Amino acid sequence: MSGIERVASAKRACIVCNGELFTTVLSLEISVGGVGADRYNVVQSTICGYERTECLKRIPDIRLLYGPRYPPHQAQSVSDTIPGRSELSRLAAKCSGSLLYQTWVDPRFGSLPGPVRPGATALDIGCGVGLTLDRLKAQGWLTSGVEPVRSAAEIARQKGHRIYVDETETAGLPESSFDLIIMQHSIEHLPDPRRVLTECFRLLKPSGLMSVSCPNFDAIGRRVMRGAWTPLDVPRHISHFTPASLVRILSDSGFKPASIQFDNGSHTVTTSIGGLMRMKRLWRSEPIGASDAGSARANEGLDVPGVLNSVIDCLILPFLRLFRIQLKSAMVVLSTK
């Protein structure tokens, strides 16, 4: 499939604008579980710019995509064990102008908004092992999470959070029951994010706040590194958003987008260079769904550039800001009801 494709089935029409014309922007071969390589296309709506991942062969087993080796489902990330990493990361975020974004998405960065009143409720969609819920609970929120992967959900539940091992739209949660709903880098994993956002609108109280974060498909790094851009994360990431398409789908779901913050940090730069080396077979890489032991070694290896990224942020990114160059690799949109 190349060029512009007309989608004959209404089922495959764009979930944002309902358009039926798409153009292929990326075509990738990825091995899942080490059983050969499957081809995935990332196609873009010619009307609204929303992008989605399409599998041209077989749909991968979700157990391979989100097994114990998946970093957000690990009880403690390797980066959290590096002495001084939190302080260095905070300084780097300030230098790159990313502190407001990082405050919402990274457990190492300060406090989220406190509860609006005693007994205020917060819901994390795709909560993983509950790192964000931990912060909210410490601030006095009554915390709940939705996590379809049972192993991650059990870790979060053991910390005292109310966890629903289900999909958001089928969890049966009562209407207008949450003061705060967070989708922290989970919307890109959904095949039908509009359906989930519509349910979140139903669950949010009239005075509530909705926070949605995800990679920015319109980022400079994505356009330069293309398939090697690590936030692309195909085939885990099914939906891909630009700032315009994310704001539009939130508005169409009933929300009132109030602000948008970007991540200008350089952490995707060196990891994307590593991804490019893998694509060119210059750096050994295990397939998605390989052994947990291999995954642990890979995560440790990839975290060394993570420390270097913080140094790069502190030294180089202020000059990029001086010349008004912003990486904008990810974004967080805050909305009201």
Same domain, 74 and 108: yes
From the list 240, 273, 243, the residue with the least C-alpha distance to 260 is 243
SS3 assignment, position 22: strand
pLDDT tens-digit map of 247-268: 999 999 999 999 999 988 766 7
Q: How many residues does the chain have?
A: 337
Stretch among 9-23, 97-111, 132-146, 289-303 having the lowest mean pLDDT? 289-303
Same domain, 255 and 125: yes
From the list 19, 28, 27, the residue with the least C-alpha distance to 48 is 19
Number of domains in the chain: 2
Same domain, 155 and 218: yes
pLDDT tens-digit map of 2-15: 334 433 333 478 99
What would the two tokens of residue 209 be? 């706040």
The pLDDT value given to residue 312:
64
How does the average pLDDT of the chain come out, rounded? 78
Domain limits at 50? 4-60
Same domain, 86 and 116: yes
Rounded Cα distance, 247 and 178, in Å: 21
Same domain, 12 and 161: no
Same domain, 25 and 85: no
Same domain, 189 and 92: yes
Same domain, 52 and 102: no
Q: Which residue has the higher pLDDT, 63 or 291?
A: 63
Same domain, 93 and 49: no
Same domain, 92 and 151: yes
Q: Model pTM?
A: 0.82
Pair 158, 214: CB distance under 8 Å? no
Q: Is 33 exposed, middle or buried (0-12, 13-18, 19+ CB in 10 A)?
A: middle
